[in-house]
Chain A
């Protein structure tokens, strides 16, 4: 589904991604861990198409298409969804209105008719239940004045509404209390249908207790320096990153 080869990206003069290789197959969940500043959000942003970054090398194929050639909205329409680490507040645009526009733009791209009001509301109701989000929140301006947890829950709600093929969750667990974490994780698990894939960026094992990953990768200084299965996350939880850092830094 997603094939990243030797991906390099920089911002200004500063190189941040220094050759990422990663393959995600349908239905898989990949966890990406790693110390602060290692490039996790940068990777997520580059995949979503943020223009601030210059891709200086490598390739990304998504279902056989050259992802890097596509505008962010085209990537979304192709089925990529990024749950932001820091969701943006947008005054004056309600979540409901925004999602209706987004959904219908995606449908248009896919050659489908816009969703009628009844079906849209039905889908809203269904997905609201999934992440236990309140109607009153959705009629307010998008993310404006939302608590940290509400913003994250809204991201997962949006993902549920847009039903992407690949969901990228950038620290969606941080800022969530334990109940919210469980709800969000269950929401994601419901969306796991054997076809849909996820990349989950997190610092915490507690999320991976709920969303059990197929693979765990450690990103450090712009490279994936270690990959393993869910046991790797447990090991990191126990020992921290120092041993990996030492291994890598010894090589340079």
Chain B
């Protein structure tokens, strides 16, 4: 028997090894920030289920695995054909085990409209801008995975839209874990800056190749200037052996408008954090999510909407269809701070248990410190609507097909929010396939 490798120690050692290769950069303020993050990670350690935020999501199986934390990325276009999204157009960037693959990628938007770089390139080219925003929004003081991610920030995308620019073509970031030959662990860090009155649609797509385990720890920070218009979609279709922990952090200024949609088609063990902080007034934010776990998949969505300023609006809708022995978690926090008068905040989470062995834990958490606000929340978890199913059958639609039709209709409220047609269509057909087969 080999002694189990200590994942935490392995990561810290890798950080230190990395540092020796940095030369001049090690004195940069970016790196000082990484160091701070590492010390936080060291102190926090991986959370256990005794931690309130991790009560239903146990990382034990994740941290006890052995991963190559510096996996290589050698792949040709042929390996990716099975992962392609039909008719996808726009800026499409491939990252294999975190490393950007220019030969597989297409950038169509002119640089004066939007700057699309890797995180490392972005820092080289715009150090001041990166330092102004990096790690300013995603809080790593109490979150081990964000701390870890901040410490290793290097792989991922840097996207910058300057004042008033409307980016016509969407940006699709395709993150592929290549687990064909070994267990791989990857840390992804994206920084997205959308300045005043600028507009951007960006999608993150997560896929796995191969049968080995993968661990993706990803953080995307978005800064939205005044009246910025931002659509962000996260689409996950990973393997049964994939662990995914991700934080999407959005910081709004006055009158910014955001749509965040998270769709989890598949993934062995998934934790998504979506945190919105409204640092301005008259912000409008939409959060939607859909998850369809089957088998023994575990999908946890934690959301936080922080109404820090008055006169803003947030609307949240999460939906789940739980198959087989899958487990799900929804935790939705809404904070309305003392100053945030005239806040409108709505939250709803609806789940269908398609199997008696599936479980769903929901926890809305509203903390309201202002008095002139409109807030509502509701969660439902129930069986398939048998009356509706009989109605469809009585019109000649076979039971399985009727069930699939109802599930598709249930999912559509979320899918329709996606404004990149190729992704919406891909999801519709993937969902139809999944609900028809499971």
Contacts and interface: CB of A to CB of B under 8 A. Distances in A.
Given A88-B387, A88-B388, A90-B406, A76 B394 contact: yes
Contact of B390 (A50, A77, A92): A50
B119 to A, nearest CB: 39
B399 A71 contact: yes
Interface string B205-217: 0000000000000
A217 B393 CA distance: 28
A90 B405 CA distance: 10
Interface stretch (B46-54, B92-100, B290-298, B409-417): B409-417
A150 interface: no
Contacts of A103: 396
Nearest to A103: B396
B396 A49 contact: no
A71 B396 CA distance: 9
A98 B402 CA distance: 10
A49 B394 contact: yes
A102 B397 contact: yes
B396 A106 contact: yes
A92 B395 contact: no
B391 A77 contact: no
A87 B391 contact: yes
A88 B389 CA distance: 9
Interface in B152-170: none
A84 interface: yes
A77 B394 contact: no
Interface string B241-285: 000000000000000000000000000000000000000000000
Nearest to B387: A88
B393 A49 contact: yes
B410 A105 contact: no
A93 interface: yes
Interface in B118-176: none
A90 B389 CA distance: 9
A101 B397 contact: yes
B399 A73 contact: yes
Contact of A92 (B392, B393, B399, B413): B413
A158 interface: yes
Interface of B: 385, 387-388, 390-399, 401-402, 405-406, 408-410, 412-413
27 contacts: A51-B390, A71-B398, A71-B399, A73-B394, A73-B396, A73-B397, A73-B402, A75-B394, A76-B395, A81-B394, A84-B394, A88-B385, A88-B387, A88-B391, A90-B391, A90-B392, A90-B406, A90-B409, A91-B409, A98-B395, A98-B405, A101-B401, A102-B392, A102-B397, A103-B396, A105-B396, A105-B397
Interface of A: 48-51, 71-73, 75-77, 81-82, 84, 87-93, 98-99, 101-103, 105-106, 109, 141, 158, 162
Q: Which 10 A-B residue pairs are closest in the complex by CB-CB distance?
A: A92-B409, A76-B396, A72-B393, A102-B395, A106-B396, A88-B391, A73-B393, A93-B409, A102-B396, A105-B396
